[in-house]
Structure 1
Amino acid sequence: MFGAFERMVAWRYLRARKGERFVSVTAAFSLAGIALGVAALIIVMAVMNGFRQDLVGRIIGLNGHLTVQPEKGRALPDHAALAAKLRGLPGVEQASPTVEGQVLLTGESGGAGGGLVRGIAPEDLRARAVIARGIRRGSLGDFGGEDTVVVGIRLAGRMGLRLGDRLTLVLPQARGADFSVAPKQRGFRVVAMFEIGMPEYDSRQVFIPLQAAQEFFGLGEAVSQVELLVADPTQVAPVTVAVRAALAGQPLRIADWQGANSSIYAAVVVERNVMFLILTLIVVVAAFNIISSLTMLVKDKGRDIAILRTMGAGSGAILRIFLLCGATVGCGGTLIGFALGLGIATNFDVLRAWLLALEGTPFFRPELLFLTQLPAVVEPREVATVLAMGLGLSLLATLYPSWRAARIDPAQALRHG
């Protein structure tokens, strides 16, 4: 497409020579602007993806991606057959019968407070990745039997609990078959403490074995709900449709995490899209800089263009020369920004550790420390979109100045040059 003559002339125009440095400096700033814009877009989108992934994991890591509950009442009797049926559906990785309820917690040191108790089978709790990797003290291997409990580390700190201490659960109104309203209490031994970085969970969540929870809440063999974990939480909608179809006609209520946390999820999606739009404007501004620098280059080289035309260069050759000048700046800046952004995003953990060590002091409050551990998730489709957008804007920015250069009248340019 570009001949040797056109490449040579374009390169000579881009080089800074005495008396022409302003145009070259402007072109250099245009290249830097589009490079920084593309790099910032790739880095910020990767961090936003990491934030969304981490937030989704924290929100639904304890609650399950899907819940199946009785439509009326609080007991789900035939949960074993129901869980087995749900495990066979495509996309479902885990189906865990659970018991959930609010209780009063009291510790050996006299601390007391409210908490949310969740009864779950020990093997199902160990399979919850967000809990398994969040254990700070003790071991999930000790969770089992009838009198063990796993608590949030902030709850343990507030109540002065240590490993091996007894935590008493008090149910203000026992709900057994005898309809007794006498308070019911039971002691459990603390075997592990977890921290997932979300205060609402770390400060009030308590896990006890499923059988102990059934006895404590007077449910017999029934459970409160069946929680499902799916392979891809962001694609929970098709699984929800499959679950509804499999359980059609049964008096059950089915809810997924996106519906239960719709406001939070919508806010994250909107913020991500707004950030993409704002950072795209940086690339657009850089593309306008290419237009201005190329326009100044055309004006500065008006006499040279006229001489080239009189020597036999056609308007198409002039058009291609300035297209090549603009494309070198724009596409070169886009590729530099692509390499820079991808390099930083893929090595974000190393860079973050270096910055934290350089700072020396934490710049987040303790309850927000999880923000310093956010991953950067690079999605190839997004990177390809940013790269295509940068290249497209760069090429579009060169069209008008190049067209103006090709339309210069040699006689007028020499007469007024």
Structure 2
Amino acid sequence: MSESSATRPFAPFEWMLSLRYLRARRKEGFISVIASISFLGIMLGVATLIIVMAVMNGFRKELLEKILGMNGHLLVQPLESPLTDWKELATRLSGVQGVRLAAPMVDGQALISSPFHSTGVGVRGMRAADIDKQASISANLKQGTLDGFDEGQGIIIGKRLADALSVRAGDNATLVAPRGAVTPMGTTPRIKTYRIAAVYEIGMSEYDSNFVFMPLAESQAYFNRSGDVTAIEIYIDSPDRYREFRTLLTKAAERPIFITDWTQRNATFFNALQVERNVMALILSLIVLVAVMNIISGLFMLVKDKGRDIAILRTMGATQGAIMRVFLITGASIGVVGTALGFLVGVVVCANIESLRQFVSWLTAREVFAPELYFLSRLPAEIDAGETTAVIVIALAMSLAATLYPSWRAARLDPVEALRYE
């Protein structure tokens, strides 16, 4: 049969032979085992890559939202003189277009205690109006309210801190600051009891267990501030435009200030997260690579085992292209089906990641995702369409590339040599 009269590419008989070779008989069981391992390797590799990338994306998104929900996108601190003009400065900074909130605050450290427990906390003095505009706090109050916060001497604490102290809204807690009143005997600690006005829970253990909010005026008195504040937190509509706002805020301040943006304040944390994400992707890609190597070895063994069949097909008129396509379809089927199932498994697991975490925790009677270590109270997963598409395309490309050389070797097999000793 001449090349011109040959059957069209990917004819039904080519598909029939390819699928037949995937269903090994008894004597070809070892080849079938290799094909199954290759299939499982690609499926698990693709699924694991999708799951890990989604979890890492979820980590970054959740942490970014919570960190920037609690802390401003830019922090304005004084230069040359204290921020005694904080009211006027906050008004000027709020007037910059795109600034959502300019919140003056007093930062300090203290020891909080109850009759049951004590621990160190960060104390932040803020106005009730500013806390109300901070959705991460005001929208997540579990107990109590902000009513009368500025006028009273109440404090707001996180849910984990309240649980650790065994207190709730309406109970009392004592704050101890190392720098209190100055006496002839030296500086004495300041000890004061406050009523717990409200309890919040934002879902990030770092903040739910370590931050206390008190009225701005009360914090100035408690930390011996002479009518000034520590800094002004700036919240903007577009966090990614922080460079542009640095210039605008500096002009609007009309006094020497020092500005720190959110990327500088959290650079080490997010850089470490990005490095971990890239390394995990690289390591898990090796699973797919090992599976691809199995496809190559399996096809080579299949070609060697089917040498007689290939020779007979060639003498019956099958072209080299037809033989190559038969083995190409055989190897590619493993990669395509494995990648497709891996994608489905990855998506299903990502959609139910928190339920699976709870099930594994219940099954092993251990905390699989400790909030104290990972900052978040739940396991997040955010599938990125671009990254998932890249994983699928790379897995398919590697699978198809792995079939080319064995298929070419099968097509180049000499029928005379293959049948010489038959």
TM-score class normalised by the smaller sequence: 0.7 to 0.9
1:314 partnered with 2:319: yes
- Structure 1 Cα separation of the partners of residues 192 and 385 of structure 2: 53
CA gap 1:204/1:309 in 2 versus in 1, 3 angstroms: closer
1:242 aligns with 2:247: no
- In structure 2, how many angstroms separate the alpha carbons of the residues matched to 1:124 and 1:253? 21
Q: Judging changes above 3 Å, is the alpha-carbon distance between structure 1 residues 131 and 416 closer, same or farther for their aligned structure 2 residues?
A: farther
Aligned-pair CA distance for 1:323: 1.0
Find the residue that maps to 1:28 and give its secondary structure: helix
d(CA) in 1 for partners of 2:358, 2:167: 32
Aligned to 2:103: 96
Contact 2:41 2:291 in 1 (8 A): yes
Tell me, which stretches of 5 or more residues in structure 1 are unaligned? none
> Are the equivalent residues in 1 in contact too, given 2:371–2:378 (CA < 8 A)?
no
Task: Check 1:277–1:93 CA distance in 2 against 1; reply closer, same or farther (3 A cut).
Answer: farther
Instruction: Determine whether 1:338 maps to 2:346.
Output: no
The reply on whether 1:287 has 2:298 as its aligned counterpart is no
2:408 maps to 1:406: no
Output the amino acid matched with 1:206. Answer: V
Aligned partner of 2:387 in structure 1 is 382
- For 2:283 and 2:421, locate their aligned partners in 1 and report how far apart those are by CA, in whole Å: 43
Q: SS of 2:383's equivalent?
A: coil
Q: What is the CA-CA distance between 1:289 and the residue it aligns to?
A: 0.6
Q: Deviations over 1:257-313 (max 9, x none)?
A: 321232222211111111000000000000101111111111111111111112221
Shift of 1:215: 5.0
Aligned with residue 80 of structure 2, among 72, 77, 95: 72
**Closer, same or farther in 2 for the Cα pair 1:358/1:200, shift >3 Å?**
closer
CA RMSD of superposed structures (Å):
3.2
Q: CA 1:76–1:284 in structure 2 vs 1: closer, same or farther (change >3 Å)?
A: farther
Alignment of 1:290-309 (within 5 A): 290-309=295-314
Deviations 1:88-144 (A, max 9, x none): 22xx5443222223346566x597765432122224324434435654543455644
Worse-superposed segment, 323-332 or 207-216: 207-216
Aligned amino acid, residue 7 of structure 1: W
Worse overlay, 367-376 or 278-287: 367-376
Q: TM-score, normalised by structure 2?
A: 0.83
Q: Does structure 2 retain, via aligned residues, the 8 Å contact 1:197–1:369?
A: no
Percent identity over the alignment is 46
What letter matches 1:243 in structure 2? F
Moved more, 131-140 or 41-50: 131-140
Farther-moved stretch of structure 1 (299-308 vs 120-129) = 120-129
1:278 aligns with 2:288: no
Q: How many residues align?
A: 405
Cα distance, 1:15 vs structure 2: 1.8
Q: Cα distance 1:277–1:132, how it changes in 2: closer, same or farther (>3 A)? A: farther
One-letter identity of the residue aligned with 1:30: S
Q: Is the 8 A contact 2:206 2:375 kept in 1?
A: no
CA deviation profile, 1:197-218 (whole Å, cap 9, x unmatched): 6665445422012343345556
User: Using a 3 Å threshold, how does the CA distance of structure 1 residues 336 and 165 change in structure 2: closer, same or farther?
Assistant: closer
Letter paired with 1:405: A
Q: Distance in 2 between matches of 1:343 and 1:105?
A: 44
Gaps (5+ residues) in structure 2?
Answer: 1-8
Q: 1:84 aligns with which of 73, 79, 94?
A: 94
Distance 1:191-1:299 versus aligned 2 partners, 3 A rule: same
SS in 2 for 1:378: coil
Residue 40 in structure 1 maps to residue 48 in structure 2 = yes
Asked if 1 retains the 8 angstrom alpha-carbon contact of 2:160 and 2:209, the reply is: yes
User: Matches of 2:237 and 2:175 in 1, distance apart?
Assistant: 34
Give the Cα separation in 1 of the matches to 2:38 and 2:320: 26
SS in 1 for 2:95: helix
One-letter amino acid matched to 2:394: M
Task: Identify the range of structure 1 (9-18 vs 317-326) with the bigger mean alpha-carbon deviation.
Answer: 9-18
**Which of 12, 19, 25 is the aligned partner of 2:33?**
25
- Structure 2 letter corresponding to 1:79: L
Name the structure 1 match of 2:215: 209
TM-score (norm 1): 0.84
Counterpart CA distance in 1 for 2:141 and 2:222 is 25
How far apart are the structure 2 equivalents of 1:245 and 1:396?
Answer: 52
Which SS does the other structure have where 2:272 is aligned? helix
Do residues 397 (structure 1) and 405 (structure 2) align? no
Shifted more, 385-394 versus 407-416: the winner is 407-416
Note if 1:122 corresponds to 2:128: yes
1:251, CA displacement in angstroms?
1.8
Is this contact kept in 2: 1:64–1:229, CA < 8 A? yes
Conserved in 2, the CA contact under 8 Å of 1:50 and 1:375? yes
